[in-house]
Structure 1
Amino acid sequence: MTDAPPSLKELYDKANADLEKARRELNEIEALLRQTSNEVEKLQQRELTVSNRLRDLDVNIDRYSKADVKNYYASAQEVQMRLLTMRSQLEQLQYRQQATKQRQSLLFELITALEPLLGVATPAGNAGGMVGSDQLIADIIQAQEKERLRISLQMHDGPAQSMSNLVLRAEICQRLLDRDPEMARAELGALKNAINATLQDTRRFIFDLRPMILDDLGLAPTLRRYVQQVSEKNKLEINLMVQNLEMRLPPHYEVAIFRFIQEALNNVIKHANASQARVLVSIRDDVGAARVIHVSVEDDGSGFHVGEVLSDDSGRRNMGIATLRQQVETLLRGEFGIESAVGRGTRVEAIIPLPAG
């Protein structure tokens, strides 16, 4: 390494030390994330068991003593409070993980910029490639784990709870068959309706998880069906426009674009307080006669200060934006943009190079 001002060398050494510290912190956070996720899954199973016990208690209250009733309700409250606490811890760990990754990325950029000025003997090109590759792999693994957790929570709060309720109602029908056939018949009718509703919810869950028509029919029909479902479920008027998309795209393009729109609409539903949204997917000629896929999702919601959200070091407010950016820039090598103002809605968009062939 050549002679350099001490202040620049000190900055370089400090950045390297901070980068190593960030790597250790990230490893610790990810270990805690795994432990907390396992604890959440165990508590979810306990909550399901306790809920079944309480339902049986409600139906057969005369078979339980006052002490049993008190103990069961106390146990249910304890499990629910513990589950709420662990879910909150899990969320905080996810925010810490995102913030640490962002800090790690900024430190690496600083080190890479300083190395040419300091005349470092070993170029950072190979090391940077390894770090970039390792980071991409880590991001992919974490995205998979985050998706597994989301599915686990949805399964617990949706189909698992519904199935538990169906089992209980079936047991009630079984007890009524001998005592009151007419009431049993009415209960069976209600059970049939509940089963049908659970089946429809499960089908919607499967569609959100991985719509099979995406493979069979392509992006446009899948988006039309998805937008219709989201609109009906959330009382949100969504205008979908698909232009010049007659041909099929490569499978990973169709999946990534669908997930981009899905994530953007989820953000609209959760945060925008909007009454209308507009989704556009089109293929057009870009600068230099190159063809691109243009995707945009905009709403008439409350909006926000983009600069404040993007500069939020905790990652709490910009995780959704980070996910959208990663889907476009990392997976599809495209460009991501966002516009928003308080009281004037939000628009996110992507410009994606059309794949050759």
Structure 2
Amino acid sequence: MSQKVDVNLLDGVFKKTVKTVEASRKQIFEISENARRESGTMKLDIMEIRNEIGKVIDRVDKLELAYRKAKSRLAQVSRHFHSYTEEDIRVAYEEAHNIQIELTVSREREANLRRRRDELERRLRSLEETIVKAENLMSHIGVVLNYLTGDLSKVGEALETAKHHQMLGLRIIQAQEEERKRVSREIHDGPAQSMANVVLRTEIVERMLKNDRMVEAQMELHELKDMVRFSLSDVRRIIFDLRPMALDDLGLIPTIQKYCQTFEERTNLHINVAVFGKEQHLDSSVKAALFRLIQECLNNTFKHARAIKVQVKVEFQYEQVIIVVKDDGVGFVVSEKSSDGESFGILGMKERTQLLEGTMEIHSQPGQGTRVQFHIPIKR
């Protein structure tokens, strides 16, 4: 009976904690969104100020030239005083004086605009730092929320093996959160930035059209079209990385070949794909898992190996699929990598391999590249 009370109390504490954490996450999200909106407005203001500075600089250059000419004219009139009328002398003096005043005002305006631009750029950097910190906080809170909102109905039974399940669950959630963070960062740095830039540029085009600057507006629209086309390509790449639809349509090997070709173009790695045996019928989940293993190997190679060439080998045997990914990179000491707790990439590959009831081997030495081999059984 006492155990039931303890579980209920623990459940109540969890629920209150979840509510508090969710409220904090919403507040951080609002701070991030407000900062993002303000940074968008600030970028537009900076762009306008830069354009204005360019115009003022052109005006200052013209006024300086005009002022030199006016001073030369005034000096000429002064030297040949008797050759000019009183009206000519007055006009020359007033012209030089007026240009000097306008030049002084324009220089002061240029200095003020530059100070305003520098101040806005400092504030923009501060806002961007705030956005990054808020995103990191939301990522950490996401891990906590996912862990707290799990199935708590069997808390009593789970306490018996709490340490093992807690570590395993936390590792999985952390791996998931890292993947979400990676996708979020890709979207933020790619399509989201491009779309924000499109919004800013369309506002500039609207202002150009209002001021009858048709040629400049057409040039801006042409650049906008290229930006949207590039963003669409970025979105398609992210979708492909999340779940290649070609796996179900074309099969495992064509999808791997297409991905390696795209990866090769994006990273300048030279990737050779070799296939042995005839591709066999595999469950959709198994095909996706095998594809993810190769994808993670290539990502690790690109991030850490500093390799030039990568070989991907897929061999279909009657009872198993053998996958080997080998690079000519810097390599590492496998035992030290294991003692460091392993990266999320290696941990994720090991867990995925275990789910497939297969085995994973890593062979590497400093300066001798890395070879990762998977043996995945085929269930018939």
- TM-score, normalised relative to structure 2: 0.66
**Residue deviations 1:263-290 (CA, integer Å, cap 9, x gap):** 11000010000111011111125xxxxx
Does structure 1 residue 306 correspond to structure 2 residue 338?
A: no
1:163 to 185, 195, 205: 195
Supply the distance in 2 between the matched residues of 1:305 and 1:33 (Cα, whole angstroms): 41
Supply the distance in 1 between the matched residues of 2:311 and 2:28 (Cα, whole angstroms): 37
Supply the distance in 2 between the matched residues of 1:201 and 1:220 (Cα, whole angstroms): 23
- Gap change, CA 1:207 and 1:38, over 3 Å in 2: farther
Structure 1 gaps of 5+ residues are 1-26, 95-123, 286-290
Q: Is the 8 A contact 1:267 1:320 kept in 2?
A: yes
| Matching residue of 2:280 | 247
Supply the distance in 1 between the matched residues of 2:31 and 2:276 (Cα, whole angstroms): 47
Q: Is the 8 A contact 1:36 1:89 kept in 2?
A: no
| Matching residue of 2:244 | 211
Aligned to 1:179, the other structure's residue is in SS state: coil
| Matching residue of 2:220 | 187
Does structure 1 residue 344 correspond to structure 2 residue 368?
A: yes
Does structure 1 residue 148 correspond to structure 2 residue 173?
A: no
Q: Look up the equivalent residue of 1:354 and give its one-letter code.
A: I
**Residue deviations 1:57-106 (CA, integer Å, cap 9, x gap):** 13321599767645533332223334555677899999xxxxxxxxxxxx
Supply the distance in 2 between the matched residues of 1:36 and 1:341 (Cα, whole angstroms): 46
Displacement, 1:202?
Answer: 1.2
Q: Is the 8 A contact 1:43 1:79 kept in 2?
A: no
Q: Is the 8 A contact 1:306 1:340 kept in 2?
A: yes
RCO comparison, higher one (Cα < 8 Å, 6+): 1
Tell me the matched-pair count: 289
Does structure 1 residue 267 correspond to structure 2 residue 300?
A: yes
Report the identity percentage: 35
Displacement, 1:43?
Answer: 6.4
| Matching residue of 1:22 | none
Q: Look up the equivalent residue of 1:274 and give its one-letter code.
A: A
Supply the distance in 1 between the matched residues of 2:25 and 2:371 (Cα, whole angstroms): 33
2:359 to 315, 335, 341: 335
Supply the distance in 1 between the matched residues of 2:185 and 2:298 (Cα, whole angstroms): 20
- Gap change, CA 1:57 and 1:74, over 3 Å in 2: same
- Gap change, CA 1:183 and 1:82, over 3 Å in 2: closer
Larger radius of gyration: 2
Q: Is the 8 A contact 1:36 1:86 kept in 2?
A: no
Between Structure 1 and Structure 2, the one with more helix by share is 2
Supply the distance in 1 between the matched residues of 2:140 and 2:31 (Cα, whole angstroms): 18
Q: Is the 8 A contact 2:312 2:324 kept in 1?
A: yes
1:230 to 260, 263, 272: 263
Task: Pick which of 192-201 and 41-50 moved more.
Answer: 41-50
Q: Is the 8 A contact 2:270 2:310 kept in 1?
A: yes
| Matching residue of 1:16 | none
Aligned to 1:282, the other structure's residue is in SS state: strand
- Gap change, CA 1:145 and 1:70, over 3 Å in 2: same
**Residue deviations 1:116-137 (CA, integer Å, cap 9, x gap):** xxxxxxxx9x956x87677655
Q: Look up the equivalent residue of 1:171 and give its one-letter code.
A: E
Task: Pick which of 161-170 and 55-64 moved more.
Answer: 55-64
Displacement, 1:157?
Answer: 1.2
Task: Pick which of 32-41 and 272-281 moved more.
Answer: 32-41
Aligned to 2:361, the other structure's residue is in SS state: strand
1:325 to 338, 341, 350: 350
Does structure 1 residue 353 correspond to structure 2 residue 377?
A: yes
Supply the distance in 1 between the matched residues of 2:29 and 2:268 (Cα, whole angstroms): 32
Supply the distance in 1 between the matched residues of 2:21 and 2:332 (Cα, whole angstroms): 30
Supply the distance in 2 between the matched residues of 1:40 and 1:343 (Cα, whole angstroms): 45
